[in-house]
A and B are shown apart, each in its own frame.
Chain A
Amino acid sequence: MPSELIYNYMRIDHLPHIWCAGCGNGVLTHDVVRAIDSLCNDPDRPIPREKVVIVSGIGCSSRAAGYLDFNSMHTTHGRAIAFASGIKIANPELTVVVITGDGDCAAIGGNHLIHACRRNIDLTVVVFNNEIYGMTGGQYSPTTPRGDKGTTAVYGVVDRPFDIAALAAGAGASFTARGDVYHVKETTELIRQGIRHKGFSLIDCRSVCPTYYGRKNKKGDAVQMLKWQKENGLPMKQYRALPPEQRADKYALGILSRNEYPEYTEEYQKIIEMAMAEKGKEK
């Protein structure tokens, strides 16, 4: 039997999951569960559990929608945000959480991502960013660091990687943050705040893929990859205090940007009301 939390929020007949030993996705999915649980049990403003929808695309990360026991939808490659936008526009009272990977979100789904950011539609996108295409055998993704190897980059990647959080902020997302696998409590809190935020929120979570990315790049096993995160993931203040030449492999954890822009479904509702009033006048 699993813990009460897992029993309550996951489809335990689908567990143990198919992710590899040491895969960061299992930890990040647990973070999502904890964040949603704390919001469902928030004494001041509880979110009704039956109003939570989980949407995912294709890839290792996207298996999460199948394991999470909510209204859930496992959609086509790269289109999770497009499906989620439709769900939110049709039923704005729903809390819609998208679980996606770096390839799903920033490669094939890149266009859906930037336009959802631009609209500032009230979705929460949790990116399980493992810097590789794990499910299909280790091809390099848009976030694989330059020089690192994949099955499609045997001499090292030439492209510069995307910083998905910065990309989202630049495209107009009103909440962007970075978490990782090692810093569980911090990442859970960022996901919680992202869900609570009204508008488009994206939490770029550094996952670990020991099977493909780790092995191909001699980064060691899951434990060594998590130790690397422990040493290099710094709180925002500490990161900013570092001189640029010491930042090399370090990355900032926490909220990267937060703004108050009008939210899409609310603005859309105003248009509906205005049009209906106009129509009423005509009669």
Chain B
Amino acid sequence: MAKVLVIETSWCKGCGICTAFCPKNALELVGEKVRLKNTNACVLCGLCELRCPDYAIYLKEVSK
């Protein structure tokens, strides 16, 4: 199983926690919504999912 990063934009309140604590600086806020700025930088560590207060960003398992 592979993992992908999923963002539920309608639930994002733009607090900036995921962007601040992303160890690879792969996320950014655009108009108070989070966006994956650099797909290659994301190492799928899941720290954003751990600390998102709004359950708006998470790793999803997908079959290759």
The yes or no verdict on A and B being binding partners is yes
A interface residue numbers (CB < 8 A to B): 1-4, 6, 10, 15-17, 19-27, 30, 181-182, 184-185, 210, 221-223, 226-227
8 Å CB contacts to A: which residues of B28-64? 49-56, 58-60
**Contact B51–A3 (Cβ < 8 Å):** no
Q: With A3-B55, A22-B53 given, is the CB distance from A16 to B16 under 8 Å? A: no
**Contact B16–A223 (Cβ < 8 Å):** yes
Interchain nearest-CB distance for A221 vs B (Å): 7
Partner of A22, one of B16, B49, B56, B60: B16
Interface string of B1-31 (1 = CB under 8 A from A): 0000010101101111100110000000000
**Contact B8–A1 (Cβ < 8 Å):** yes
- On chain A, the residues within 8 Å of B52 by CB distance are 26-27, 30
Chain A residue at minimum C-beta to C-beta distance from B47: A184
Q: With A3-B49, A3-B60, A26-B55 given, is the CB distance from A21 to B15 under 8 Å? A: yes
**Contact B50–A3 (Cβ < 8 Å):** no
Interchain nearest-CB distance for A230 vs B (Å): 8
Chain B residue at minimum C-beta to C-beta distance from A208: B53
Besides A21-B14, A184-B51, 9 other A-B contacts (C-beta < 8 A)? A2-B58, A3-B59, A16-B55, A16-B56, A27-B50, A30-B53, A223-B17, A226-B20, A226-B51
